[in-house]
Structure 1
Amino acid sequence: MSELTVLQAVRLKGRVTFTELAATLVEDAAGVAETVEQLIASGLMVGGAVLKLTDRGRARLSELLDEERTGVDATALAAVYDEFRPVNADFKAVATDWQLKAGEPNTHDDSDYDAAVLNRLNDLHQRAMAIIAAAAGHVPRLGVYAVKLQRALDKINSGETVWLTRPMIDSYHTVWFELHEELILVTGLTREDEASAGHAQ
């Protein structure tokens, strides 16, 4: 389990239990535990009931992300991110339409309406899988997002629709937000850059 992968996962979560961390990494707990212990021992992470990065950990993660960017094809990744932007806009529309209907909170009493929204999600998911595969061709660690989105989608399609937008779990929306953050970082952009361009989630 790489130092970068674990540090980035904890940064994206802010504060996370070990069980949550192992689940979001989609990795064997023993391998994650070994890396976590090393990071705590080196002062990059605080242990206990929840894990979080220290200031040194954040600085180290920034260095590792900078190193990662120097080893990838920036032009190719920028092209991947350009493909992601319209899909991101479509996902935001799906999430909004799931939560609202005709401008009012969606009470989910109209099964036809909800089914139409979920059909759009499933179509969008296939587009997202292609983009993740392209991104992972340059940054392999991003491939896990395909697994995490599929896991959330399977729960949604089995009737557990809270896995579409619920915060504090690896819902489709949570994973999507983290994927967006990752793509921004590997292309050398910032949330501020994206917000000013009207693309931030």
Structure 2
Amino acid sequence: MLTETEFLVLNAVYLKKMVTAPQIVEMTGAEADDVARCLEDATTRGWVMDMGADGVMVLDDGAAEVLKHYAEAYVEQRKDPAMTAWYHGFEALNTRFIAAVSQWQESEGDPSSERRLLQAAERLAKDIALLMPAIPRYAGYVGRLERSMEKVDLGERDFVCNPTVDSVHNVWFEFHEDILTVLGRKRDTT
């Protein structure tokens, strides 16, 4: 099984698909030297590919290691009815969030759509806090959502859903992928 730091680093690459070391430090709170060491080891093992200035991307063997770690580390969470109930509540919130993002994009940033989107993100941050006793690393998602929302409040509209920054939408999407994998579920693409 991966160490906690190895998992955090490799999982960040898995969730982002392509990411730089500084972004991993920001996402995980891991020390830069530890991130560099983990990435070097993961590259040597053929788990990630170094893409130069663009960062690293996960390879099939790296994704398999991440999924194996999830399967081993979150056995109890997968069996916990409270986690399943929490996820069902999240699905309703996720539907509202997706609708708000779509309205925000279609209206080219309508303030009322933005407000609904941010209200959903605030709610998710509070809901994630309920999971932190079982999954302490989820505190990172709360911090990232809060930072992104603060930037939106300061008028930095890229932090709503720009794919090139740690936007509210990107953090939400990564969290959704993470909780699905914790629970051993597939994303519904219908």
Question: TM (normalized to structure 1)?
Answer: 0.81
Q: Match for 1:154 among 150, 154, 173?
A: 150
SS in 2 for 1:2: helix
Query: Residues 63-117 of structure 1: CA distance to partner in whole angstroms, max 9, x if unpaired?
Result: 111102214353221111112111111111211111113xxxx3x5xxxxx3322
| Structure 1 residues not aligned, in runs of 5+ | 109-113, 197-201
Q: Is the 8 A contact 1:11 1:53 kept in 2?
A: yes
Give the direction of change, closer, same or farther, for the CA distance of 1:48–1:97 in structure 2 (3 Å limit). closer
Residue pairs, 1:170-181, within 5 angstroms: 170-181=166-177
1:116 aligns with 2:123: no
Tell me the equivalent position of 1:131.
127
Give the direction of change, closer, same or farther, for the CA distance of 1:97–1:55 in structure 2 (3 Å limit). closer
Q: Is the 8 A contact 1:46 1:52 kept in 2?
A: yes
Tell me the equivalent position of 1:4.
7
- Larger deviation, residues 56-65 vs 21-30: 21-30
Give the direction of change, closer, same or farther, for the CA distance of 1:84–1:55 in structure 2 (3 Å limit). same
Q: Distance in 2 between matches of 1:176 and 1:80?
A: 16
Q: CA RMSD in A?
A: 2.0
- Larger deviation, residues 10-19 vs 44-53: 44-53
Amino acid at match of 1:8: N
- Larger deviation, residues 37-46 vs 143-152: 37-46
Which protein has the larger Cα radius of gyration, Structure 1 or Structure 2?
Answer: 1
Amino acid at match of 1:95: V
Equivalent pairs counted in the alignment come to: 184
Instruction: Kindly state the Cα deviation for residue 60 of structure 1 after the two structures are TM-superposed.
Output: 1.5
Instruction: Kindly state the Cα deviation for residue 14 of structure 1 after the two structures are TM-superposed.
Output: 1.5
Question: TM (normalized to structure 2)?
Answer: 0.86
Q: Distance in 2 between matches of 1:51 and 1:165?
A: 22
SS in 1 for 2:189: helix
User: Structure 1 segments of 4 or more deviating over 3 A?
Assistant: none
| Structure 2 residues not aligned, in runs of 5+ | none
Q: Distance in 2 between matches of 1:155 and 1:171?
A: 9
Tell me the equivalent position of 2:140.
144
Q: Distance in 1 between matches of 2:130 and 2:143?
A: 14
Q: Is the 8 A contact 1:77 1:138 kept in 2?
A: no
Q: Match for 2:189 among 191, 195, 200?
A: 195
1:65 aligns with 2:70: yes
Instruction: Kindly state the Cα deviation for residue 48 of structure 1 after the two structures are TM-superposed.
Output: 5.1
Amino acid at match of 1:148: R
Tell me the equivalent position of 2:87.
81
Q: Is the 8 A contact 2:50 2:56 kept in 1?
A: yes
